[in-house]
Amino acid sequence: MGQNRLSEQQKAMTDATISPADEAAGWADGLLRFAHRGPGDTVDAAMHRVSTKHGIEHQTLWRLRYRRPRDLMASVYLRIKAAYDAECERQEAKLAHQLEITRALPRTSARDRLIAETEALLGSSQRAGGAE
C-alpha cells in the first residue's frame, strides 16, 4: 500500500531512455576498437593503451565493458566523451590525409568514386560535428 510504484507508461519511458552509463560504455567500446591492433592483441592491452593515452582508469574501462554501473560520475562521463571525440577527430584527420594522397594519384573512375564518397563522408561528419 505505501509503496511507490511507477505506472506502466512511466516504466516504459524510463526503460526506453539511454543512461549516461550506457552512453559512456558505447564511447569506451569505440575507444577500445580504435586502440585494438588486430589479431594477437588483447582487449586488456587495448584497455591499458586507452587508459594511458586518455587518463581514464583501467578499472573504469573494465567496469563499463563487463559490469556496467547504474550511475557514473560526471567527471568520468565527460573524460570518456572528450577522449572519444578526440579519437574521432584524429581518425577523421587520418582519413583526410589519405584522401589527399589518393587525389595525388592518377585518376581512374574507381578512384574518382572513392574520392567523392570520402569527401561526402568527411563533409557529413563535419556538418554533424558543427550541429552540436
C-alpha–C-alpha distance, residues 28 and 47, integer Å: 9
Given this model, what pLDDT does residue 128 score? Answer: 66
Give the pLDDT mean for 18-44.
Answer: 94
Give the pLDDT mean for 94-114.
Answer: 93
C-alpha–C-alpha distance, residues 12 and 74, integer Å: 25
Q: What pTM did the predictor assign?
A: 0.74
**More confident call, 12 vs 83:** 83
Q: Which among 115, 126, 117 has a CA at the least distance from the CA of 92?
A: 126
**More confident call, 75 vs 5:** 75
DSSP output for 6-34: --HHHHHHHHHSPPHHHHHHHHHHHHHHH
